[in-house]
Structures are given as structure tokens and as C-alpha cells.
Amino acid sequence: MTTNVSPLADRSADDLAAFRAEQQAAYDALKSAGLKLDLTRGKPSKEQLDLSDGLLSLPTGTTDAAGVDVRNYGGLEGIVELRQMFAELLGVDVPQIVAGGSSSLVMMREVLVDLLLKGGVDSERPWIEHSREQTVKFVCPVPGYDRHFVLLEWLGIEMVTVPMHDDGPDVDAIEALVKDDPSIKGMWLVPTYANPTGSVTTQEVAARLASMPTAAPDFKILWDNAYALHHLTPDEAKSADIISLASAAGHPHRPIVFASTSKITYAGAGVAFLAGSVETVQWYVKHLSAGAIGPDKVNQLRHAQFFKSADGVRAHMAKHRDLLAPKFAEVERVLAERLGGLGIATWTVPKGGYFVSLDVLDGTASRVIELAKDAGVALTPAGSAFPGKVDPDDRNIRLAPSFPSLAEVTGAMEAVATCVLLAAAEKLSRQ
């Protein structure tokens, strides 16, 4: 534990040298411990997955509430009882939501491809025709979700970054970017417990995003509400109602909302959802029908019977919170005790989601990750929360404490703290 809490940058050369030697000795001891720990991905733990094992004995019966045989083709919109359940949870009407397969990321890819090849409900022409004149661009709050960036890069869409704040993305910067540039066709946003910062986009920021003038008449907000129900405290953040806000502002087709049960039930066998205006849902299903005949309605019925109601989903998520909250509390405890007051790191204390965002001294994130790897602790590569995996300041590290046991979280965070201390001491000693 760090006992001298004066900022490292304020210490004399002799004191800094002594501190560096102390941290080097601690790191050498860490390397000799033979650790094998992993904080790389925000995966549910086995204990979390066990919460949903009741799914394995379901469904009972073969028909949904409408009397449709779920074993057969058809029903691209998904079964009605599951749509009703998640319509309530996401704050939309049933005709505004689709229940699909197991991956919301696949839905996101489908939407982007459809926009490029066919254009949206409010498009004058397919986006790909614009790209022949000027590269299609997307606004990306950073730090952000790496899979969003990978998808845009794969499609050849240029990424324009803006900072992510505690109340959501930098809306002033976004408004300035989109008002005169028709090549900026949309933006990503994880609005509730953002990946990786845990930020929650406020109703006020959402209202500005919904109503802002855009040079592109078919501008889209891809509203990835992956963590809307993943609360870590009883103080549950309510997601901004982007669909109603956009409709009231005269842009009903601007938002396309995504969600899933991937971290609610089984990560590889959940149900994904898409929501938006009625016309947006119809647009999505129309294009989906060119390559699909129906989703896995057996799995959808299984989930509907498992949860029974929206309140059943909420009760299930409380069990997740009981498992996750102690791990996040341990991350905060170790970081505060080991790094607090030294002026070398800041970190988020999220009230939900799956990640903690750690910012270390500029220019040292890569070194911290290298040191951790050599000591047997796997961290997400530096820059992962930025387009192209390039953090211009080399300072951000995404921590994912959900999968390891509580004891492993403690060991991993103690190791991370030691690596942060050593990397900071190395850099300050060179100045």
C-alpha cells in the first residue's frame, strides 16, 4: 500500500529514485509469483451464467402466446410475448421493437450494411452512392466500444472522435461537426453505463442529439443500450427516451436502438432486440427478409417463459448485481488505496455496466500493459477503446472485472497498481 500520498511529480529526485526502486522491487516480486490472471473482456462469470440454467429445461410447449408453432418458419419480428416484455423495459411500444437472434452486434452490422446498400427510411439514396463522392463518416465518442470501431473500419466508414463526458458525449462538438458536413451520416452511443467509462447520457444531452440540425437528412444515432439493465447499485439509472425525444423533435427515424440478453442470460444463446420508429422496424424486417425466414423462436419462447414478465427480468438482474458489485467495489478499493493522491491516475466509479476506465500518466498505458503481461496479468491492449486502436495520449486502460473470481480481481488489481506505479516512476525519473 502507498503510504506517502504526496504527488509523485512534486518529489525530489532522491525521493523519486527511492520510490522507483521500491516499486521495482515490488514488481520483481510480482513477476516471481507466477500469476495467470485476466481482465481483458467483459464476460459474465460462470456464477452469472448459472443464474440462467433454468433455461435448459425450457420451453414447455411449442406455441407462443399467439398460437404460432415456434418450431416452424416465419415471424421475423419475433414472438409477441418477448417483444411485449422488452418493449416495457426499453420504453417503446410493441410495434416499435423486433426480437431477433442471439447477437445485437449482428443486428448493428445488418443495419449499417442496409443503410449503405439501400439507404434508410428517410434517405434520398443509398449511403454507398454518397461514398463515391465523399467518404461516409461516423461520430464516435471516446473512449468507446471497440467492436463499434472495428465494424466501421471493416465497412470503410471514417471515424470522427469526440470526448465522452460524465453526462454523455460532447454534444457541443457533435453539433458543430454535423451541422455543415453531409458526409457525417451517424454516430454511435452506448447511452447507459457506457463502455468503458460507465457514463450515463442524460435526458438533456439526448434531447439535443435528437433535435440537432444535421447536414445529412438521414443522420442516424445507433443507440447501443447494451447495459441499460446492468445496475451495480440500488440507484438505477434510467435510460434517456431517445425515440420519443427524436419523434417530438421531428426526427422520428433518427435513432435505432439495440439491446440484448447476452449478459443477462447466456452470452452465446440470448436474444437481441432492435427498436425505433414503426417505419424503421418495418424497414429492417423488409431487408432482413431477403436473407432470413425467421429467428430462433424456440429460444425466444424459452426466454419468455424463464422471465415471465418485465419484473422477472428486473429481479434476475438484481442477482447479477449481487455477484458483480463486490468485484467493482474491490477495483475501487485497490485503486484508491494504492494510487490515490499520487497524481498519476484517475478512474471511473461506475454505477452499472461491465467496465472501469483507468487513465494513467500520458505515455504510460502501453508500458503498464507490457509490465502486467510480463507479470502474468492480461489487460486489454492499449488504445482498444479508440478507433484504430490508437489512443493519442497513450493513457487509457479498460478494466473488466466481471469474469474473474473476487480473489482473482484483488490479485489482478494489486498487480495493475504496482505496474502503474512503476511505469509512472520510470517516466517521471526521465523528466
Looking at the structure, do residues 197 and 159 belong to the same domain, yes or no?
yes
Question: Of 284, 308, 332, which residue sits at a domain end?
Answer: 308
Helix (H) or strand (E) holding 347: strand 345-347
Residues 258 and 218 in one domain: yes
How do the pLDDT tens digits run along the chain, 431 residues long? 444 578 999 999 999 999 999 999 999 999 999 999 999 989 999 999 999 999 999 999 999 999 999 999 999 999 999 999 999 999 999 999 999 999 999 999 999 999 999 999 999 999 999 767 789 999 999 999 999 999 999 999 999 999 999 999 999 999 999 999 999 999 999 999 999 999 999 999 999 999 999 999 999 999 999 999 999 999 999 999 999 999 999 999 999 999 999 999 999 999 999 999 999 999 999 999 999 999 999 999 999 999 999 999 999 999 999 999 999 999 999 999 999 999 999 999 999 999 999 999 999 999 999 999 999 999 999 999 999 999 999 999 999 999 999 999 999 999 999 999 999 999 999 87
pTM for the full predicted model = 0.96
| 39: containing domain | 8-48+315-430
At residue 143, the 3 state secondary structure works out as coil
pLDDT in the model for residue 131:
67
Cell numbers given for 309: 414478465
Beta partners for residue 134, in sequence order: none
| 23 and 86, same domain (yes or no) | no
- Which cell numbers in the block locate residue 417? 497498481
Maximum distance among all Cα pairs of the chain, rounded to whole angstroms: 79
Secondary structure element (H or E) that encloses residue 158, with its range: strand 158-165
Q: CB–CB of 95/285 below 8 Å?
A: no
The one-letter amino acid at 429:
S
CATH of the domain at 206: 3.40.640.10
| Alpha helices (runs of H) in 51-170, residue ranges in sequence order | 80-90, 104-118, 127-131, 146-155
Q: Are residues 282 and 404 in the same domain?
A: no
Q: Do 282 and 154 have their domain in common?
A: yes
Minimal CA–CA distance to 353: which of 188, 201, 173, 161?
Answer: 201
What is the bridge-based pairing of β-strands 377-378 and 37-38?
parallel
Q: CB under 8 Å to 43, separation ≥6 — which residues?
A: 267, 400, 402, 403
**59 within some domain:** no
Q: In this structure, is residue 378 part of a structural domain?
A: yes
User: CA–CA distance from 373 to each of 24, 143, 368 (Å)?
Assistant: 15, 22, 9
Other beta carbons within 10 angstroms of residue 61's beta carbon come to 10
Instruction: Provide the number of structural domains found in the chain.
Output: 2
**Residue 413 within any structural domain of the chain:** yes
Specify if 3 maps to a domain: no
**Of 239, 273, 308, at which residue does a domain stop?**
308
pLDDT at residue 371, rounded to an integer: 98
Q: Which among 209, 190, 94 has a CA at the least distance from the CA of 148?
A: 190
DSSP symbols for 191-231: -BS-TTT--B--HHHHHHHHH---SSTT-EEEEE-TTTT-B
Contacts of 416 (CB under 8 A, 6+ apart): 39, 334, 358, 368, 372, 377, 379, 397, 399
β 184-189/220-224 pair status: parallel
Any residues with CB less than 8 A from the CB of 20 and at least 6 apart, and which? Answer: 422, 425, 426, 429
pLDDT digits over 326-373, tens only? 999 999 999 999 999 999 999 999 999 999 999 999 999 999 999 999
Q: Of the residues 247, 276, 308, which one is the last residue of a structural domain?
A: 308
Q: What angle do helix axes 80-90 and 297-307 make, rounded to 10 degrees?
A: 60
Extract the runs of DSSP E, i.e. beta strands, from 209-306. 220-224, 255-260, 272-275
Classify 321 as helix, strand or coil: helix
Handedness of CA 151, 154, 160, 162 (dihedral sign): positive
pLDDT of residue 1: 45
CATH code of the domain covering residue 367: 3.90.1150.10
**Are residues 298 and 371 located together in one domain of the fold?**
no
Kindly list the strands in the beta sheet with 272-275, ordered across the sheet, starting from the edge strand earlier in the chain: 97-99, 272-275, 255-260, 220-224, 184-189, 137-142, 158-165, 168-169
- Quote the pLDDT of residue 2: 45
Q: Which three cell numbers stand for residue 201?
A: 447520457
Half-sphere exposure of 59 (CA within 13 A, CB side): 20
Both 333 and 300 in one domain: the answer is: no
Query: Is the alpha carbon torsion for 422, 389, 357, 407 positive or negative?
Result: negative
Judge if 299 and 369 occupy the same domain.
no
